[in-house]
A and B are shown apart, each in its own frame.
Chain A
Amino acid sequence: EVQLVESGGGLVQPGRSLKLSCAASGFTFSNYGMAWVCQAPTKGLEWVASISTGGGNTYYRDSVKGRFTISRDNAKNTLYLQMDSLRSEDTATYYCARLDNNYRGYWFAYWGQGTLVTVSS
């Protein structure tokens, strides 16, 4: 059974940092691209960042470029999101998701339960 378990969320002051983790199990982690998707309270879903299987290629939405860093440790089956210079608008539940694909494109096949990040003074 595919499992994705996020951790690391919490209350943080504006301008500070936080690092999220996502522990993966039930599949060969190194074979799949991974992503973070966020959802502000009572709002919709928003893609944040993606990373390739080996970690060599990373992609970010414009609003987090230069502030967030996605990474992975395939030996530990773990995905990370380093969040620096946090802003109040980053307040959201952050989901870890597995990217499935064929030759045509990608989709978010499995999602974790999410971890809440609250940015407030």
Chain B
Amino acid sequence: DTVLTQSPALAVSPGERVTISCRASESVSTLMHWYQQKPGQQPTLLIYLASNLESGVPARFSGSGSGTDFTLTIDPVEADDTATYYCQQSWNDPFTFGSGTKLEIK
């Protein structure tokens, strides 16, 4: 299975820029997607196909990357962005998720 590696946690202050990384154990082309999960809620789609912003998602969120290295950027960060962020690939079977990056807003 394709393993997606994410940093466990980050802490930033409101107004700052934060980058969340996701590294794949093998190429996933640009079939990488990002989800936000707030405590007690279901995940919601932020970015699909590495860099496409889902409708209704603030333009503060952006995604980049291809192959094995991907980044989710939030700029500027707001207090409401407190959540766990997951990357997910759909290039290789089975679909796999990263273990999530918990973002704390100081």
Set B35, B43, B45, B91: member contacting A105, Cβ < 8 A: B91
Whether, in the assembled complex, B58 has its beta carbon less than 8 Å from a beta carbon of chain A, the answer is no
Q: How far is the CB of B72 from chain A (nearest CB, A)?
A: 14
Within 8 A of B (CB), among A76-121: 95, 100, 102, 104-114
Is B64 on the interface with A (CB-CB < 8 A)? no
Selected contact of A46 from candidates B37, B44, B97, CB within 8 Å: B97
A2 to chain B, nearest CB (A): 11
The minimal Cβ–Cβ distance linking B103 to chain A, given in whole angstroms, is: 15
Interface flags for A13-45 (1: CB within 8 Å of B; 0: not) read 000000000000000000000000000000011
Nearest A residue to B91 by beta-carbon distance?
A: A105
Interface string of B91-106 (1 = CB under 8 A from A): 1011111111000000
CB of A61 within 8 Å of the partner chain? yes
If A109-B54, A114-B42 touch, does A44 touch B90 (CB 8 Å cutoff)? Answer: no
The verdict on B88 contacting chain A, using a C-beta distance below 8 Å, is yes
B70 at the interface (CB under 8 A from A): no
Q: Which of A28-81 contact B (CB under 8 A)?
A: 44-47, 50, 59, 61-62
Chain A residues with a Cβ under 8 A of chain B: 44-47, 50, 59, 61-62, 95, 100, 102, 104-114
5 residue pairs, one from A and one from B, having the closest CB atoms:
A47-B95, A111-B42, A105-B31, A45-B97, A107-B33
17 contacts between A and B (CB under 8 A): A44-B100, A45-B37, A45-B86, A45-B88, A50-B95, A59-B93, A59-B94, A102-B49, A105-B91, A107-B48, A107-B88, A108-B35, A108-B88, A109-B48, A110-B45, A111-B42, A113-B41
